Amino acid sequence: MDGDLKDYIPDYKYELFEISSLREEEVKGAKRLRIYLDVLRMRSLEGKEAIREVMLRVAVTISELSWTEANERFFQVCTIYLFDTMGGENFQQLSELMKMVSEERSEKMQTIADMLRQEGMEKGIMKGREEGREEGREELLWKLISKKFPKVSQKHFEKLKSLTIEQLDSLGLELIDMKNEEELKKHLM
C-alpha cells in the first residue's frame, strides 16, 4: 500500500471485558452506564440474593435518573430488555423493588410489561390463526384428494402435511386437472 495513504487507515484495537464478575464498587461511572452494566450482569448471576442485590441497585439508580426524554427512553429500553430476558418471577420481584424506591417508575415499568404481554398475546393469536388456516387447507385438500382418488394411501396425507402453503395452493389448483394417482404422487415427491 502507498505510504501516503497508510496514515489515513485506522488501526482498530478493542478489549473485551467480563463484567459478570465485577463487584458493586467496581461498577463506576455515569448512572446510565452503571444501570446498563448491572442489567447485563443480572443475566449471568446465580443465586436469588445476588440477583436481588443487583435488582435493588438498578432500581435505586434508575430512580435517581433525572426526568429527561433520553432517560425515559433508556428506562423503557432497559425495561423491555429485562422483561424479555428475565423470568416472570424475577421481573415481578424487580417491579416490587422499584415500587419501594419509586412508585411512578414502578407503574411505568408495569405499563411497559403489560404492553409487551399484550403484544405477545396478539402475536400468539395471529400465529395460532395462521397454523389453523394451514391445517384447514391440508384437511380440505386431503378430502378433495380422497374424493377424487378413493383408494389413495394414507402415507400421502403425511407428505401433504409437510408441504408449504404455496405448495398446497399449487396442488389444489392442479388437482382439478389430475387424471390419476400417479400425477398426485409426482406432486407429493
| Three cell numbers, residue 14 | 478493542
28 and 110 in a single domain? The answer is yes
Q: How far is residue 131's CA from residue 36's CA, in Å, rounded to a whole number?
A: 39
**Domain range holding 111?**
24-116
- pLDDT truncated to tens, each residue of the chain (189 aa)? 566 777 777 777 777 766 666 666 665 667 788 788 888 877 777 777 877 887 888 888 888 888 888 888 888 888 888 888 777 777 777 777 778 777 777 788 888 888 888 888 899 899 999 888 888 888 888 888 888 888 888 888 888 888 888 888 888 888 888 888 888 888 777
pLDDT computed for residue 71 by the predictor: 81
- pTM across the whole model: 0.50
137 and 101 in a single domain? The answer is no
50 contacts 23 by C-beta, under 8 angstroms: no
Residue 29, in any domain of the structure: yes
Residue 42, in any domain of the structure: yes
| Three cell numbers, residue 13 | 484495537
Q: Which of 86, 116, 146 is the last residue of a domain?
A: 116
83 and 39 in a single domain? The answer is yes
Closest-CA residue to 147 (of 96, 121, 115, 184): 184
pLDDT computed for residue 28 by the predictor: 61
Closest-CA residue to 56 (of 108, 94, 11): 94
41 and 62 in a single domain? The answer is yes
pLDDT computed for residue 127 by the predictor: 92
29 and 106 in a single domain? The answer is yes
Q: Which of 66, 98, 116 is the last residue of a domain?
A: 116
| Three cell numbers, residue 90 | 424475577
Closest-CA residue to 188 (of 132, 149, 130): 149
93 and 142 in a single domain? The answer is no
Residue 81, in any domain of the structure: yes
Domain count, the chain: 2
Question: At how many degrees (to 10) do helices 69-85 and 31-42 cross?
Answer: 10
| Three cell numbers, residue 117 | 404481554
Residue 162, in any domain of the structure: yes
